[in-house]
């Protein structure tokens, strides 16, 4: 069969979010790939130029609605860097706990999507069932299940509810047992390993050069994690390890995320023990001087998230730039896809964990 | 036409019906020759055959629909949910679905090849329903018991790739063409192990006649005991032939939308889905007949009911495999079929020949 | 503060700042440096040589972000680069000023593939031309858009 360009998307059951993957196929093998994004572009950065600083926090939630706490927290970190505010200690502990819970929730959603891609609806329903527990925890904390609007510039919105430690400990104990079940369901399944091993190879040099970050980078053997190497919040006060795998294929990226879920449970447990009472918010100034800049980067569940802000002299930012990790990983997708078969596309793109909200902004 | 209990039963009914009609013609209209013709043996046999076919078809059809119910419930429980609840125990769901599908609009894309497009689902369901009539459910309940019954069932089973290729090509769509070719490759690849394991059974029994196969098993032993490998190969190949997960790449949602049936909507889709389950009925039926002793069982229940119980249990295994495993890619499917299942089937054939020559069976 | 995870043999931001300032006397002004941050204003003519030195000599492997800023009143555009070094755990911020009526700067895509889509998006939104970029076409805006939406004189709702 002659070579032809195939459009996988924009209306397609596999693509999580609205984007188009154009692949040039020779029979079943892909010779070129070109991702086309922009279907979900909302002009986020331009809108923020006309909003006051606190009004942008719920907007940041909607950047990636799958991991929304991570993005509103990143925004608050950026503005705290701009205005040079020091956040009280208890707020930092709470933020760390909540961020790690968000990481687990986001990774569970990724696992569910990977299950649908590979054809196993059981692997879809089990993580979603666990994620409900974490969403219930978040609902107890801040009242919302998805877009939380919980961090504030200078701290967090409210203190933890009653029975916080008890609920979290129960959920974590239950979850760790279930996580072993999922690992058994996937890792010990020859079919799963056959589909994920040796596909989507991304060498470490290419990964670093192409700007891939996060679990995708660590799945290629590069030992870099923003939480450890450029610490923020309370990550340097907690004893945890960075998960790295050496095999550079889709299976390595899957294993990194599964290990990260366990490490997150570990971090949350330590934070709950080490948390001290205290203030949870300081009052930030309303304005920032014109021309003053600030930036912050965090380890989003999908990679390195980064925001850069320039003040305008009044209550609104002059420019707010968002760097989303999946934006860059999608541009590196052709590197991972060329040479494999079309049937491998769901396995490869599923292991990358796409979220269109942050890509298109 | 070999007489059986059902035939005799229906003969009585048909005779009664025709006698009523003849009475009408004789006494009301006084057309005595026509009345006599109606009760002549030829006409009665013809009507009996028709009614027997109808009864067997309806029973087989209802059992296939019950398979769909069984699948929804068991798959639901595997995924920690209840499955369908419409009606008593969820039994009305399929009829509701059937009614919904029946009243949908007939949408045919403009650029399809209309004759082939319309012919493909008709061919598929016709072949599937033809198989219902060839599989005896009990010693007294079948439509036709041919001396080459087994061979005919597999001949009709193997017509599916034609219809699928027709459907895929006629839809005038890149995705469906690829899906159709993949489906044809898969089905053809898995016919070889199936036929080899069937050949082992025929070597031991010495006949293609289903009755003789079952009585052989009643006299000696269920053939699953000596031919265990063959039963396993048959089981796996049957899952591939019926295009279920883990072998449902031709209709892989994640990549090719619906594969070769993408362009079929409404009732045509309903017919295709139904034909998949009827083929599942045929595959389970043949497995039970060949390896699990057919309707052999203790006397306190009718043999037909034993047969159905065994079929439901085999189908429950099909469903369990679907719930636990993920889709396998084309390269891996074909590899599995040719390099692993075929040698096993050959070994099985060797065992059968050895048993026969040694005189143990 | 003790740096966790500082690679053995890694250099802090201050050391790197001195190195750069010494090597590029004209064209680069280091405004601030801490143990893990480095801020510099760079002239557009030395951008590529600075970036090549940073990648090859100072182990800056990763481009975090390339963003554009439109200073309408000051009649200039800025491109702000954030480049990270994994080996040294340092992030550098480079600010390049460009004249607003002809915003052109050399592309660094050939050095770091990660800058590819960032530069493409900056062109798409601001109109800053990256000379030497392999594919400078519309990314987020629909094909055929004729305006640059993030400019400060853009009236929203316009397509042409």
pLDDT band at residue C8 using 50, 70 and 90 as cut-offs:
low
pLDDT band at C7 (very low <50, low <70, confident <90, very high): low
Pairing status of strand C90-99 against strand A155-156:
unpaired
Q: Pick the residue with more confidence: A64 or B255?
A: A64
Mutation target vs A (from B254, B258, B259, B332; most A CBs, 10 A cutoff) = B254
What is residue B204's predicted lDDT score, i.e. its pLDDT? 86
Domain count along chain C: 1
Structural domain containing residue C36: 13-108
Range(s) of the domain holding residue A151? 4-360
- Taking an 8 Å cut-off on Cβ atoms, the answer to whether A189 and B330 are in contact is no
The 3-state DSSP class for residue C20 equals helix
Which site among B255, B262, B319, B334 would you substitute to test the A interface, given the most A Cβ atoms closer than 10 Å to its Cβ? B255
d(CA B289, CA B223): 9
Sort C158 into a burial class: Cβ within 10 Å, 0-12 / 13-18 / 19+: exposed
Share of chain B above pLDDT 90, in %: 3
Average pLDDT over residues B225-254: 80
Residue B257 has pLDDT above 80, yes or no: no
According to the model, what pLDDT value does residue A57 have? 92
Chain A contact partners (≥3 CB pairs within 8 A):
B, C
pTM exceeds 0.95, yes or no:
no
For B288, half-sphere exposure in the C-beta direction (CA atoms, 13 angstrom radius) is: 29
Task: Let me know: does B75 contact B244? Beta carbons within 8 Å.
Answer: no
pLDDT digits (tens, 9 = 90+) for B132-141: 888 888 887 8
Distance between CA atoms of A99 and A215, rounded to whole angstroms? 16
**Rg from Cα positions in chain B:** 22
pLDDT confidence of B254, banded at 50, 70, 90? very low
- Residue B49: how many other CB atoms lie within 10 Å: 17
Q: For residue C123, tell me if it sits in a domain.
A: no
Distance from B142 to chain A by nearest Cα, in Å?
Answer: 38
> CATH number for the domain including C79?
3.30.460.80
* Tokens, residue C55: 């990648």
List, as ranges, residues 6-35 from C with C-beta within 8 Å of A: none
Whether C62 is covered by a domain: the verdict is: yes
Q: Tell me C121's DSSP state.
A: H
Q: How far apart are CA B91 and CA B321, in angstroms?
A: 23
Domain count for chain A: 1
Residue C139, in any domain of the structure: no
CATH of the domain at A173: 1.10.645.10
Span B259-292, pLDDT tens digits: 777 788 788 888 888 888 888 888 899 999 888 8
Find the mean pLDDT for residues B171-195: 82
Asked if residue A305 has pLDDT above 70, the reply is yes
pLDDT at A56 over 50: yes
| B39 or A207, which is more confident | A207
Q: Residue B183 and residue B164: Cα distance in Å, rounded? A: 7
> Would you place residue B252 in the very low, low, confident or very high pLDDT band (cuts 50, 70, 90)?
low
Return the number of CB contacts < 8 Å for A and B. Answer: 79
Q: Which residue in A31, A32, A6 sits closest to A20, CA to CA?
A: A6
pLDDT value of residue C157: 66
Question: How far A263 CA sits from the closest chain B CA (Å)?
Answer: 27
CB-based contact B257 A122, cutoff 8 Å: no
Give the H/E segment covering residue C52: helix C47-56
Is the CB of A346 less than 8 angstroms away from the CB of B255? yes
Confirm whether C49 is domain-assigned.
yes
Residue in A8, A12, A122, A187 to test binding to B, most B beta-carbons within 10 Å: A122
Mean pLDDT, to the nearest integer, of C70-82?
A: 89
For residue A321, which phi and psi values (nearest 5 degrees)? -105, 135
Average pLDDT, chain B: 84
CA quadruple A322, A324, A328, A334: dihedral, nearest 10: -140
Which positions in chain C touch A210 (Cβ < 8 Å)?
112-114
pLDDT of residue B3: 61
> Has residue C124 been placed in a domain?
no
Q: In this complex, do B253 and A4 lie within 8 Å of one another by their Cβ atoms?
A: no
- Res A284 pLDDT > 80: yes
Q: Is residue C96 part of a domain?
A: yes
- List C-alpha distances in Å: B291 to A188, A274, B133, B273, B286: 30, 64, 20, 27, 8
Among chain A, residues having any CB pair with chain B shorter than 8 Å are 4, 6, 8, 12-14, 28, 115-123, 125-126, 129, 185, 189, 191-192, 194-195, 341-346
In a domain, B314, yes or no: yes
| The pLDDT of residue C2 | 45
C54 belongs to a structural domain? yes
DSSP 3-state of B8:
helix
Structural domain total, chain B = 1
ipTM: 0.88
The β-bridge partners of C85 are C90
Q: Is the pLDDT of residue C21 over 90?
A: no
Q: Is residue B158 part of a domain?
A: yes
pLDDT by residue (tens digit) across C88-142? 888 899 999 999 888 889 999 998 888 999 999 999 999 899 998 988 888 888 8
Those of residues 169-228 in A touching chain C at CB distance below 8 A are 206, 208-213, 222, 224, 228
pLDDT score, position B361: 67
B255–A194 CB contact, under 8 Å: no
Smallest Cβ–Cβ distance between A229 and the set C80, C89, C142 belongs to C89
- Specify the higher pLDDT residue, B43 or A84: A84
Angle CA(C6)–CA(C11)–CA(C16) in degrees, nearest 5? Answer: 140
């Amino acid at each position: 069969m002659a070579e032809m360009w195939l459009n996988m998307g924009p209306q397609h059951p596999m693509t999580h979010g609205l984007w188009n993957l154009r692949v040039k196929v020779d029979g079943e093998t892909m010779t070129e790939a070109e991702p086309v994004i922009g279907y979900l572009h909302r002009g986020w950065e331009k809108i923020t130029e006309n909003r006051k600083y606190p009004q942008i926090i719920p907007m940041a939630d909607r950047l990636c609605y799958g991991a929304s706490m991570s993005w509103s927290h990143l925004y608050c970190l950026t503005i705290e860097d701009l205005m040079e505010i020091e956040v009280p200690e208890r707020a930092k502990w709470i933020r760390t706990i909540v961020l790690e819970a968000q990481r687990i929730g986001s990774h569970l959603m990724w696992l569910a999507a990977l299950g649908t891609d590979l054809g196993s609806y059981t692997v879809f329903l089990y993580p979603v069932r666990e994620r409900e527990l974490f969403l219930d925890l978040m609902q107890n904390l801040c009242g919302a299940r998805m877009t939380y609007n919980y961090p504030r510039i200078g701290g967090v919105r409210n203190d933890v509810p009653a029975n916080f430690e008890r609920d979290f400990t129960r959920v974590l104990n239950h979850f760790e047992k279930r996580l072993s079940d999922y690992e058994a369901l996937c890792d010990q399944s020859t079919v799963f390993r056959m589909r994920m091993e040796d596909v989507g190879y991304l060498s470490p040099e290419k990964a670093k050069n192409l700007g891939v970050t996060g679990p995708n980078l660590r799945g290629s053997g590069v030992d870099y994690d923003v939480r450890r190497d450029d610490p923020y919040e309370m990550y340097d006060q907690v004893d945890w390890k960075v998960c790295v795998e050496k095999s550079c294929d889709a299976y390595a990226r899957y294993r990194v995320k599964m290990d990260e879920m366990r490490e997150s449970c570990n971090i949350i447990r330590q934070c709950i023990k080490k948390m001290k009472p205290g203030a949870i918010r300081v009052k930030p100034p309303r304005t920032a001087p014109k021309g003053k800049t600030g930036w912050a980067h965090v380890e989003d569940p999908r990679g390195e998230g980064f925001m850069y802000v320039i003040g305008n002299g009044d209550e609104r930012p002059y420019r707010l730039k968002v760097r989303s990790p999946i934006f860059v990983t999608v541009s590196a997708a052709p590197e991972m896809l060329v040479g494999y078969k079309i049937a491998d596309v769901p396995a490869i793109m599923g292991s990358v964990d796409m979220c269109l909200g942050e890509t298109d902004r | 036409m070999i007489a059986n209990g059902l035939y005799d039963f229906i003969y009585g009914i048909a005779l009664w019906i025709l006698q009523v009609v003849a009475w009408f013609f004789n006494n009301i209209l006084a057309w005595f020759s026509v009345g006599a013709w109606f009760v002549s043996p030829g006409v009665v046999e013809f009507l009996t055959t028709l009614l027997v076919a109808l009864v067997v078809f309806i029973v087989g059809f209802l059992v296939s629909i019950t398979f769909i119910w069984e699948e929804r419930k068991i798959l639901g429980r595997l995924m920690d949910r209840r499955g369908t609840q419409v009606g008593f125990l969820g039994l009305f769901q399929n009829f509701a679905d059937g009614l919904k599908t029946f009243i949908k609009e007939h949408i045919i894309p403009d650029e399809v090849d209309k004759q082939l497009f319309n012919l493909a689902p008709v061919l598929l369901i016709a072949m599937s329903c033809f198989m219902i009539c060839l599989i005896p459910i009990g010693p007294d309940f079948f439509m036709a018991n041919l001396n080459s019954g087994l061979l005919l069932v597999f001949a009709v089973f193997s017509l599916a790739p034609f219809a699928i290729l027709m459907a895929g090509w006629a839809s005038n769509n890149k995705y469906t063409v690829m899906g159709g070719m993949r489906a044809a490759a898969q089905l053809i690849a898995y016919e070889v192990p199936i036929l080899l394991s069937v050949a082992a059974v025929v070597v031991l029994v010495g006949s293609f006649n289903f009755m003789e196969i079952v009585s052989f098993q009643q006299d000696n032993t269920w053939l699953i005991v000596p031919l265990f490998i063959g039963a396993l190969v048959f089981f796996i190949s049957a899952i591939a032939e019926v295009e279920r997960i883990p072998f449902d790449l031709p209709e892989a949602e994640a990549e090719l939308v619906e594969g070769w049936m993408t362009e079929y909507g409404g009732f045509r889709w309903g017919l295709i889905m139904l034909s998949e389950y009827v083929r599942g009925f045929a595959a389970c039926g043949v497995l039970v007949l060949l390896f699990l002793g057919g309707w052999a069982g203790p006397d306190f229940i009718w043999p037909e009911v034993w047969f159905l119980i065994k079929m439901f249990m085999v189908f429950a295994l099909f469903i369990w495999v679907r719930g636990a495993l993920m889709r396998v890619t084309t390269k891996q499917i074909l590899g599995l079929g040719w390099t692993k299942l075929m040698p096993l089937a050959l070994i099985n054939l060797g065992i059968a020949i050895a048993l026969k020559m040694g005189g143990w069976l | 503060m003790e740096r966790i995870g500082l690679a053995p043999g890694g250099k802090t931001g201050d050391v790197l700042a001195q190195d750069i300032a010494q090597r590029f006397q004209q064209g680069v002004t280091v405004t601030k440096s801490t143990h893990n941050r480095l801020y510099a204003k760079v002239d557009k003519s030395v951008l590529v040589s600075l970036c090549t030195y940073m990648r090859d000599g100072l182990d800056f492997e990763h481009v975090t972000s390339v963003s554009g800023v439109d200073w309408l009143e000051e009649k200039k555009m800025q491109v702000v680069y954030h480049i990270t070094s994994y080996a040294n755990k340092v992030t550098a911020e480079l600010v390049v000023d460009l004249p607003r009526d002809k915003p052109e700067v050399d592309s660094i895509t050939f050095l770091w593939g990660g800058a590819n889509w960032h530069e493409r998006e900056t062109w798409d939104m601001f109109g800053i031309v990256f000379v030497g970029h392999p594919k400078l076409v519309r990314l987020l805006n629909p094909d055929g858009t004729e305006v640059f939406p993030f400019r400060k004189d853009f009236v929203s709702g316009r397509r042409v």
